[in-house]
Every structure is written in C-alpha cells, then in structure tokens.
C-alpha cells in the first residue's frame, strides 16, 4: 500500500485539495476522513463537494448522521456521513443503508475508520492532523483498487 503525505498551509489549501480529490471521485468510491476535532474533515468535504459539482450546502452531518448532495453536471451524487455518534455500533451504520448509496454515489464518511471499511474492499483513508501552527498534514492511505488509483490523486495544492 503506497501512502502519500501532504502539507496544507491554510484552510483554503484544504478546500483546494478536497476540490482536486472530488474531481476524481466516481460512483462507488468510499473515502474515510480520519482525524481529531478541528483537523479539517468537514472543510475538506466542502472542497470535495465543490470538485464533484454536487448541489446543497455542506455542513457537518453529526446530528443527522448522513446528508445526500444531489449530482451536478458530473452525474455523481455525494453522500456525506458522520459516524462520530455511532460509537462503534455497526447496526446503526447498517440502518443508514450506505452500501446501497455506493451504487450511485461517492461516499465520504467522517469518523468512519473502524466501521465504514466494511462497506467496500476499495477505500481511501484521508488522515488529517492539525499542527499547533495551524498547518494541516494529510496522509493518504489507499486500500484495494485505490492503490492502483493513487496516481490520480492530487499531490500538491
């Protein structure tokens, strides 16, 4: 598994990186955003949504668990889910029917590591960290078919 690390100097860089990632996503893609509170997961998702051209305002889905953003010109919808409140409860993840959404949408799951990997053998973990100087570091960890697609991923902002 090839991993990549990237530094993002500003929140705008995080959005720009997400936008570049969103441009390569297609129906069936699973992206897990991992990192502590304030690392930039929702900010990155805003960029992903913009890159995909989906409609609807992107905000943290913590209290609704999942939001569907209808497809734009690229024809792929985005399902933005937040597994934070699930606390490791796989039955609640099953209740969301996210595996069904993978047939027609790209799925981005915040806090999904340890839960959402079971939705697909092919997934990308985007691990975000925020340093004290406010610079974000991003480590990309491709799994399954994503290992072959890693060259499609943006490596610089």
**% of the chain with per-residue pLDDT over 70:** 80
- Name the band, by pLDDT with cuts 50, 70 and 90, for residue 156: very low
Q: Are 49 and 33 in contact (CB under 8 A)?
A: no
With b meaning 16 or more CB within 10 Å and e meaning fewer, what string describes 138-148?
bebbbbeebee
Tell me the pLDDT tens digit for each residue of 127-154.
999 999 989 999 999 999 998 887 777 6
Q: Are 86 and 66 in contact (CB under 8 A)?
A: no
pLDDT for the residue 152 = 76
Q: Is residue 62 scored above 80 in pLDDT? A: no
Average pLDDT value over all residues in the chain: 82
Tell me the pLDDT tens digit for each residue of 71-101.
888 889 998 888 766 555 545 554 554 555 5
Dmax (CA) of the chain: 41
Domains of the chain: 4-152 (3.40.50.300)
Average pLDDT over residues 8-35: 93
pLDDT for the residue 67 = 74
pTM for this model (two decimals): 0.85
């Amino acid at each position: 598994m090839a991993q990549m690390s990237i530094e993002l100097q500003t929140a705008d860089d995080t959005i720009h990186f997400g936008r570049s990632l969103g441009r390569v996503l297609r129906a069936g893609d699973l992206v897990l955003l991992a990192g502590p509170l304030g690392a930039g997961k929702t900010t990155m998702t805003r960029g992903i949504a913009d890159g995909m051209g989906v409609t609807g305002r992107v905000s943290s889905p913590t209290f609704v668990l999942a939001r569907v953003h209808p497809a734009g010109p690229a024809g792929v919808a985005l399902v933005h889910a937040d597994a934070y409140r699930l606390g490791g409860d796989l039955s609640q993840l099953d209740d969301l029917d996210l595996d069904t959404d993978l047939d027609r949408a790209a799925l981005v799951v915040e806090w999904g590591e340890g839960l959402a990997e079971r939705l697909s053998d092919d997934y990308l973990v985007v691990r975000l960290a925020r340093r004290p100087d406010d610079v974000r570091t991003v480590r990309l960890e491709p799994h399954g078919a994503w290992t072959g697609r890693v060259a499609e991923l943006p490596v610089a902002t």
